[in-house]
């Protein structure tokens, strides 16, 4: 398998924008047409996701699939998730499995096998709380949770260490260290970080600590993150959107755009607007 960060950078440059559509399907919010056609929720979600993938392929370089929305339905949901990842791959989209896994020893190896060998995702979100040694088994792309977008994250991640760093900055230093030997031809590491757009005061400091990490950035749009917030997280010296070190993700604002007419058309329109907006941010100045 080729280097994840290189493939992602190439895909971003082809699309012209470092953006990622989040598939967080919730039955209650699906288009009436889809909801009423299926008795089983996992089937409705499968049809909806297929429509979303058709709509966004060729518009955005990547999708992020929220594992919890599928696991909710047990084995049937996991089968649906496998199908969604497979279809996304077939449509040329880079896939991020947002499962926030984290365990020790053999269990970490199993999670890596589940994500990269079985489900064949290109990248996986992981937790680093168990220590940097637990991240070694993930041979594909990973995004380590550093600074998350929810209000309550400050109670852990903003705590100040005796050495002056915050807990998030300490995690960032681990991410940089383990990512150092895993940089590709374009300078970016396969070990990236999750950094929420809703904590703009932290973005530039975290970028300084992680110069070669791709930041998977949730919280843009629906959760309140603005273009200025994202601008502060760009990687210095980037020559193209693919080297900006950004992968801004939006879910609800794209997959539930509201409005009249065909829902796939509406989603395609929302994805276009997002890609154009974030594409402009990614380019200097």
Assess 103 for contact with a second copy (CB under 8 A). Answer: yes
In whole angstroms, the minimum distance from the beta carbon of 63 to a second copy comes to 16
- Catalytic-labelled residue, pool 35, 38, 100, 264: 100
For residue 100, indicate whether it is catalytic. Answer: yes
Whether 263 contacts 256, CB under 8 Å:
no
Q: Cα–Cα distance between 240 and 41 in angstroms, integer?
A: 41
Q: Cα–Cα distance between 44 and 263 in angstroms, integer?
A: 14
Q: Which of 106, 181, 258, 260 binds a second copy (CB under 8 A)?
A: 106
Assess 107 for contact with a second copy (CB under 8 A). Answer: yes
Task: Tell me the window of 6-14, 168-176, 228-236, 273-281 that interacts with a second copy (CB under 8 A).
Answer: 168-176
Contact string 111-140 vs a second copy (x = CB under 8 A): x-xx---xx-------xxxxxxxx------
For residue 253, give Cα distances in angstroms to 51, 100, 112, 222, 238: 16, 22, 30, 6, 28
* Interacting residues of 259 by C-beta distance below 8 A, sequence separation 6+: 266
Assess 27 for contact with a second copy (CB under 8 A). Answer: no
Q: Cα–Cα distance between 248 and 65 in angstroms, integer?
A: 14
> Is 220 exposed, middle or buried (CB count within 10 Å of its CB: 0-12, 13-18, 19+)?
buried
Task: Tell me the window of 157-165, 206-214, 233-241, 253-261 that interacts with a second copy (CB under 8 A).
Answer: 157-165
Q: Which of 153, 184, 240, 272 binds a second copy (CB under 8 A)?
A: 153
Tokens of 279: 């594409």
In whole angstroms, the minimum distance from the beta carbon of 59 to a second copy comes to 24
Q: Which of 2, 39, 152, 258 binds a second copy (CB under 8 A)?
A: 152
Q: Cα–Cα distance between 108 and 102 in angstroms, integer?
A: 6
For residue 103, give Cα distances in angstroms to 82, 97, 119, 123, 191: 22, 16, 18, 17, 17
In whole angstroms, the minimum distance from the beta carbon of 58 to a second copy comes to 28
List binders of a second copy among 170-209 (CB under 8 A). 170-171, 174
**Catalytic residue set:** 100
Which positions lie near a second copy, rule CB under 8 A?
Answer: 24, 26, 66, 68-69, 71-79, 82, 100-108, 110-111, 113-114, 118-119, 127-134, 145, 148-157, 159-164, 167, 170-171, 174
């Amino acid at each position: 398998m080729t280097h994840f960060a290189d493939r992602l950078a190439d895909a971003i440059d082809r699309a012209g924008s470092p953006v990622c559509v989040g598939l967080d399907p919730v039955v209650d919010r699906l288009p009436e047409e889809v909801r009423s056609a299926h008795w089983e929720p996992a089937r409705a979600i499968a049809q909806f996701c297929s429509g979303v993938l058709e709509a966004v392929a060729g518009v955005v370089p990547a999708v992020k699939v929220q594992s919890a929305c599928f696991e909710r339905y047990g084995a049937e949901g996991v089968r649906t998730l496998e199908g969604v990842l497979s279809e996304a791959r077939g449509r040329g989209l880079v896939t991020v499995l947002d499962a926030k896994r984290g365990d020790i020893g053999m269990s970490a190896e199993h999670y890596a096998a589940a994500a990269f060998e079985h489900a064949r995702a290109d990248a996986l979100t992981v937790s680093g709380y168990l220590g940097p040694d637990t991240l070694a088994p993930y041979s594909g792309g990973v995004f380590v949770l550093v600074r998350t977008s929810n209000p309550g994250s400050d109670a852990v991640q903003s705590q100040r260490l005796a050495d002056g760093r915050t807990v998030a900055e300490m995690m960032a230093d681990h991410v940089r260290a383990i990512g150092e030997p895993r940089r590709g031809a374009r300078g970016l590491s396969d070990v990236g970080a999750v950094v929420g757009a809703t904590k703009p005061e932290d973005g530039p400091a975290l970028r300084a600590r992680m110069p070669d990490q791709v930041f998977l950035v949730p919280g843009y749009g629906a959760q309140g993150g603005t273009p200025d917030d994202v601008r502060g997280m760009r990687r210095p010296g980037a020559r193209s959107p693919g080297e900006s070190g950004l992968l801004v993700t939006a879910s609800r604002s794209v997959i539930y755009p509201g409005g009249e007419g065909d829902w796939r058309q509406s989603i395609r329109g929302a994805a276009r607007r997002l890609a154009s907006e974030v594409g402009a941010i990614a380019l200097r100045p």
